[in-house]
Amino acid sequence: MTAVVTGGANGLGAAIARRLHADGHAVVIADVDGAGARELATSLDPTTARGRAVDVTDREALTGLLESVVAEFGPVRVLVNNAARTKATPLFDITPEEFDEVMAVNVTGTFQACQVFGAHMAEQGYGRIVNMASLAGQNGGTATGGHYASSKGAIMSATKVFARELASRSVTVNAVSPGPQDSPAVRGIVGEENLEAFARNIPVGRLGDPAFVADVVALLASPRAHSVTGACWDINGGLHMR
């Protein structure tokens, strides 16, 4: 099966791309960092992985991505919407321009990809879409900006909307909501000198493992996950319980 991972050139997206490829998927890594996406694809396998320079805020670019993937690998069976803009700007310092920038990537990008690829999957009668949400969208955010938290809350709502619409066509749509992960993005926001104290505030006492998040994504992306849709799977070390 063919999988597309947006924002897959590095960090959590790269971990997800590696995991899906290890499961036997042909993987297309779509990222604004086209060079990074191509480098990762080459390191996986140049015959079954491809890197593409794609801006998810551009609907035509997403349509072109779908067309190119179908031409090369056949129908897309899995979409992981991981592309995101992460900002930790203090709430009252967020400008309208920065707010629009974050929402354009995180919300509009995810929504448009669900439309473009979801319609394709519905035509095929099968598909798995996994949207990357965040603990910030559930608790209002503690280390990230209010615009980022708001965008991730919107992603969880959009997941339910698309799940309901596509369920009858054997297309599932789910979200994964990670808390703080041991990743370059989290280390950059928190600061290396603050990591130990930060981890002590997590009930399990440690940052999450991106490889495990990738395992969860792979499970939701599998054919066996047909009975799970509209769900949000939490991976936050106990920071948010419901």
Counted domains in the chain: 1
Q: Tell me whether residue 79 is in a domain.
A: yes
DSSP letters along 50-102, please? EEEE--TT-HHHHHHHHHHHHHHH-SEEEEEE---------GGG--HHHHHHH
Which pLDDT score, from 0 to 100, does residue 195 have?
Answer: 83
- The series of mean pLDDT values per 10 residues for the chain, 242 residues long, is 97 97 98 98 97 98 98 98 94 97 98 98 98 95 90 98 98 96 81 85 92 98 98 95 90
Q: Tell me whether residue 199 is in a domain.
A: no
Rounded CA gap, 189 and 183, in Å? 10
Which pLDDT score, from 0 to 100, does residue 199 have?
Answer: 84
**Which one of the listed residues 148, 159, 216, 218 is annotated catalytic?**
148
Q: Tell me whether residue 240 is in a domain.
A: no
Q: Tell me whether residue 162 is in a domain.
A: yes
Q: Has 126 been annotated as catalytic?
A: no
The pTM for the full model equals 0.95
Q: Tell me whether residue 203 is in a domain.
A: no
Q: Tell me whether residue 184 is in a domain.
A: no
Rounded CA gap, 90 and 14, in Å? 28
Q: Which domain holds residue 131?
A: 2-179+209-235
Neighbours of 107 (CB within 10 A): 21
Query: The domain that contains 123 carries what CATH number?
Result: 3.40.50.720
Rounded CA gap, 141 and 58, in Å? 27
CB 136 within 8 A of CB 78: no
The two structure tokens encoding residue 186? 């989290």
How many helices (H) and strands (E) the chain has is answered by 10, 7
Q: Tell me whether residue 156 is in a domain.
A: yes
Q: Tell me whether residue 198 is in a domain.
A: no
